[in-house]
Amino acid sequence: MPKLNWISDLSSDELREFLKSVDTILFDIDGVLARASTILPGTVDAVGKFRQLGKKICFVTNNAIAPPEVLKAKLIPFQASLEEIVTPNITLLAYLKKIDFQKTIYIIGSRFTKKMLREAGYSVIEYKDLQTTDVEETLSSAMQVSLRVLDACKNVGIVYADLDINLQNMAVHVAKILLKHMDDVQFLTGTSDDRIPIGENFSLIGPKYFIDGLQRWSGVQAIPLAKPGRVLKEVIDAKFGISQDNRVLMVGDNVSTDITFGIESGFQTLLLLTGDTKKQQAVDWAFDEDLKPDYVAHSLQEVYEKVKTIPTAL
């Protein structure tokens, strides 16, 4: 059982070799650089130091609620540009363009994602377009909705599921009906996080539970567009000109999304303990053995304290 490599234990030579081996650094945002609207200590200095060392910087988030412009404003202290920010919405548009999608999308997701798709010229339908009033609480009423949905959604070619803070149970039911009872409907997903940090000791229920359920109920496997999905890697590779996977470092706080994405992409990985993953979980390694990261640090501030004296010329 390989032990964890803690950044704090690296010698000066080991730290230099590590930094020399990295050209591009992908940072998750929530739980790594910030918690809700609060920038975490030392993170601005750390990102600035990596820029000084000549590293390409990318901010990769599973947040599909916030428009890129809002994320850019949040990341002003990090001197982030729009071109450095990658979200599930960006991946979604890239995927739709790649497959030349011409049909209708049934969506469970944020208002911004729906607006973005419509402005990009795609036909979008959501639950409130199909059912404008509450469904009577009888099984026969649910059946009537199911049949009406199949008739109204004959042109649907994609079911897209992401975080919807105002989610209704029947919206998920409609997604299941379309996936199970219609042919050739793709199932795409944005974030599949189990929980989403929203403040100190508070988290929001993520969409993982109903995405997992939709796959189980319909028998259709989802194509993830957020971390840890393969499509996201293709977008990042193209956007940043990545040709050597092992010279990319993924920095994240979530083992099931950030670290899994890094490992499956062939990137180096650094797990931080300022968000989803707690110290004891890392020490005891409460996850699959093959998901162990290359490095672990308590925080990005700790990383900065290790690298701040390293000269620009490695």
- By annotation, the residues acting in catalysis are 28, 30
| Phi, psi dihedrals of residue 111, rounded to the nearest 5° | -60, -40
- The string over 193-231, giving b where at least 16 C-beta atoms fall within 10 Å of a residue's C-beta and e elsewhere, is beebbeeeeeeeebbbebbeebbebbebebebbbbbbeb
Q: Which are the contacts of 205, defined by CB distance < 8 A and separation ≥ 6?
A: 195, 196
Q: Among residues 60, 118, 106, 103, which one has the least CA distance to residue 85?
A: 60
Burial class (CB within 10 angstroms; exposed 0-12, middle 13-18, buried 19+) of 280: exposed
- Residue stretches of the annotated binding site: 28, 30, 227, 253
> How many angstroms separate the CA atoms of 70 and 274, rounded?
22
The answer to whether the beta carbons of residues 152 and 124 sit under 8 Å apart is no
> How many angstroms separate the CA atoms of 132 and 130, rounded?
7
In one-letter notation, the amino acid at residue 273 is L
Strand, coil or helix: 27: strand
- Residue stretches of the annotated binding site for substrate: 227
Alpha helices in the chain (DSSP H): 12-20, 43-52, 68-74, 88-98, 111-119, 127-130, 139-152, 169-181, 208-218, 230-240, 260-265, 279-284, 300-307
> How many angstroms separate the CA atoms of 218 and 221, rounded?
8
Q: Which are the contacts of 96, defined by CB distance < 8 A and separation ≥ 6?
A: 120, 122
- Residue stretches of the annotated binding site for Mg(2+): 28, 30, 253
